[in-house]
Each structure stands twice: as C-alpha cells, then as structure tokens.
C-alpha cells in the first residue's frame, strides 16, 4: 500500500486523482483550505504528520492573465509552494510529482517540445512555473518527477470546454483563436498517467497531453460538433477562426506548444488516447451529470 498526498484537491486534476485512485493507494487529498503550500512551517508539519510515500503537487496559481498583475500571489504558490513541498518531501523521504506547464516554453518552435528543450517563458505564469520546476529539482534532484502538461480540462471546475458550451448556448456566433496550436488534455487521463508514473517510480522531467494536435479553433469546433451530437448545445452557432491579435490578452500565449510524449509513453507502456476521444468521453460525463 502506497500512501499518496495530493495538494490542490479541489482543482480539476486533484478531483480526477481522487476519482481514479488505484487499488493499493491510500490517498490524502488536501485542498488549499486544508493546506496552504506557501506556508513553509505548515507544509513541513503536515507532510511530517502524514508521512506519505509520494506527494502529487496539483496545486497551482493558473490564472494566466491575472498573474501579470498578481505577481506575488503567483510566486507564492508556483515557486515558494513548490519549494516548500520539495523540502518537506526531502525531510520525510517522500517522492514528489510536480505538475507543470507548456507555458515554460516560448512557443517559437515548429516541432513538438522535448523535455530537455530550453525553457523561455513569455509571461509571469510561465516564469513562476519554470522557477518552481527549478526549485523542485534543486532540492530533490533524482527524487522528483516534473510533469508538464497543457490545455487541461475536466467535467469538474471551470475550463475552456465548459466556457465554450455556455457561450454556444447563449450566442449565435463566436470567434476563437486559430493561430495558437497545442494539445488538449483531459484531466482524467492525466491522473491515470500520474499513477502509472508513480507505479514505475519515475523521476526526471516528462511531458503528457492527450494525443494529436489542435488549434483553439479546432478544439472549439469539436466541442460544438460533439456537444451538438450529445444534445448539450441546441442552437446553430457559427465559429469564426480569428488571429491572436484580434483577441488581445494581458499575458502572451505560446503560438506553438505541442509537447512530445514519446519518453513517457515508452516509460509507462501507455500510448494515451486522441484528444477528440477524450473530449467525447468528458462531454458524455457532462451530459450524464
């Protein structure tokens, strides 16, 4: 029996990690109300009390645009919080899975990013996540697994998929960015993969998303088509592809952030599923409540 402590239990990934807990895992799931990871002493005491074999850090400041004006809040969770968990893991002999993001890259490549590619974040969110990775690696070295992912969504919580469904039931026309390319990730699949990686006692830096590639426009179009087939949207909606400059945001987004999963697929013996298959499964969950 492995004991696993999860932070960020109320988030999309934290929720799915609870839902897909394998047999043989005792799970301690802590929300931000249960554990403020930016508080060094509290983290140290709670991890010592629980004495887990593994910690999964699914807590993060993820408000990409707000981070530009709330730098200290992003740093407290994404940098100091990550370091605090790493220090507590080192004190107790636990292993740490630290979940990170495609935003550590600048998006200027035209081929999938490898885990050892140079990082170059373009905004505060990506920069704080990058510094969090560095802090974890400095403290734990070979006892940490850093797992970067992208475009995460779930039937739980707020995300692009659920926002699109709401807008598609309110409007006749939508504009969605077509020149930012990456891969959606169903948090349920990500949770399963994290448990597979723990089972293999992996360490180092890896990437995981669902399979395939999409623009935000492609993603939105699929949400509409699949959602319509399931009866989640009823009105005729025109989705217009628009360039990034037509939808300005406080934080810059990477234009291309497809992540190479090859190393992790090989390590855990699992190829994953295509993002449209994952999306269909998630939308069926939404339909079924």
Residue 63 phi, psi dihedral angles, 5° rounding: -80, 90
What's the whole-number mean pLDDT along residues 204-228? 98
Examine the residue annotation and report whether 224 is marked as an active-site residue of this protein.
no
Q: Give the ranges where the chain is alpha helix by DSSP (H).
A: 12-19, 40-50, 71-75, 82-92, 124-140, 160-168, 187-199, 216-229, 262-268, 275-287
The Cβ of residue 162 has, within 10 Å, a number of other Cβ atoms equal to 18
How far apart are alpha carbons 160 and 24 in whole angstroms? Answer: 33
Number of H helices, E strands in the chain: 10, 12
How far apart are alpha carbons 149 and 91 in whole angstroms? Answer: 27
Its pTM stands at: 0.97
How far apart are alpha carbons 206 and 211 in whole angstroms? Answer: 15
Q: What is the predicted pLDDT for the residue at 142?
A: 86
Residues 6+ away with beta carbon under 8 Å from 46: 30, 35, 88
Per-residue tokens: 142 = 């070979």
How far apart are alpha carbons 242 and 166 in whole angstroms? Answer: 20
Which pLDDT tens digit goes with each residue over 28-70?
A: 999 999 999 999 999 999 999 999 999 999 999 999 999 999 9
Q: What are the boundaries of each domain within the chain?
A: 2-158+183-212+255-273
How far apart are alpha carbons 125 and 107 in whole angstroms? Answer: 14
> Is-contact 29 80, C-beta < 8 A?
no
Per-residue tokens: 53 = 């074999």
- Give the pLDDT band of residue 289 (cuts 50, 70, 90): confident
How far apart are alpha carbons 139 and 41 in whole angstroms? Answer: 17
The CA-to-CA distance between both ends of the chain, in Å, stands at: 32
Among the listed residues 61, 113, 125, 195, the single catalytic one is 125
> Is-contact 137 146, C-beta < 8 A?
yes
Which pLDDT tens digit goes with each residue over 82-134?
A: 999 999 999 999 999 999 999 999 999 999 999 999 999 999 999 999 999 99
- Give the pLDDT band of residue 279 (cuts 50, 70, 90): very high
Strand bridging mode 25-30 / 2-7: parallel
The mean pLDDT value of the chain amounts to 97
- The CATH H-level (homologous superfamily) assignment of domain 2-158+183-212+255-273 is NAD(P)-binding Rossmann-like Domain (3.40.50.720)
How far apart are alpha carbons 212 and 276 in whole angstroms? Answer: 9
How far apart are alpha carbons 124 and 141 in whole angstroms? Answer: 25
């Amino acid at each position: 029996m492995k004991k696993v402590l999860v932070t960020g239990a109320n988030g999309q990934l934290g929720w799915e990690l609870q839902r897909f807990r394998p047999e043989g895992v005792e799970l301690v799931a802590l929300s931000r109300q249960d554990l403020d990871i930016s508080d060094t002493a509290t983290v140290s005491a709670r991890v010592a009390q629980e004495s887990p074999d593994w910690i999964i850090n699914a807590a993060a400041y993820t408000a990409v645009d707000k981070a530009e004006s709330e730098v200290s809040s992003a740093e407290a969770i994404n940098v100091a919080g990550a370091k605090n968990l790493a220090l507590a893991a080192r004190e107790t002999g636990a292993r740490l899975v630290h979940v990170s993001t495609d935003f550590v890259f600048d998006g200027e490549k035209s081929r999938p990013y490898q885990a050892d590619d140079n990082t170059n974040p373009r905004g505060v969110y990506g920069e704080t996540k990058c510094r969090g990775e560095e802090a974890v690696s400095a403290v734990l070295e070979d006892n940490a697994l850093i797992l970067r992912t992208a475009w995460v969504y779930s039937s739980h919580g707020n995300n692009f998929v659920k926002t699109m469904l709401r807008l598609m039931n309110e409007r006749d026309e939508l504009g969605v960015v077509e020149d930012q390319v990456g891969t959606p990730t169903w948090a349920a699949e990500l949770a399963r993969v994290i448990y597979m990686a723990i089972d293999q006692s992996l360490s180092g830096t890896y990437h995981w998303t669902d399979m395939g590639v999409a623009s935000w426009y492609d993603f939105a179009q699929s949400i509409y088509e699949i959602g319509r087939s399931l009866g989640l949207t009823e009105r005729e909606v025109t989705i217009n592809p628009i360039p990034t400059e037509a939808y300005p945001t406080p934080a810059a987004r990477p234009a291309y952030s497809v992540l190479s999963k090859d190393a992790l697929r090989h390590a855990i013996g699992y190829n994953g599923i295509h993002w449209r298959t994952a999306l269909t499964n998630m939308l069926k969950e939404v339909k079924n409540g």
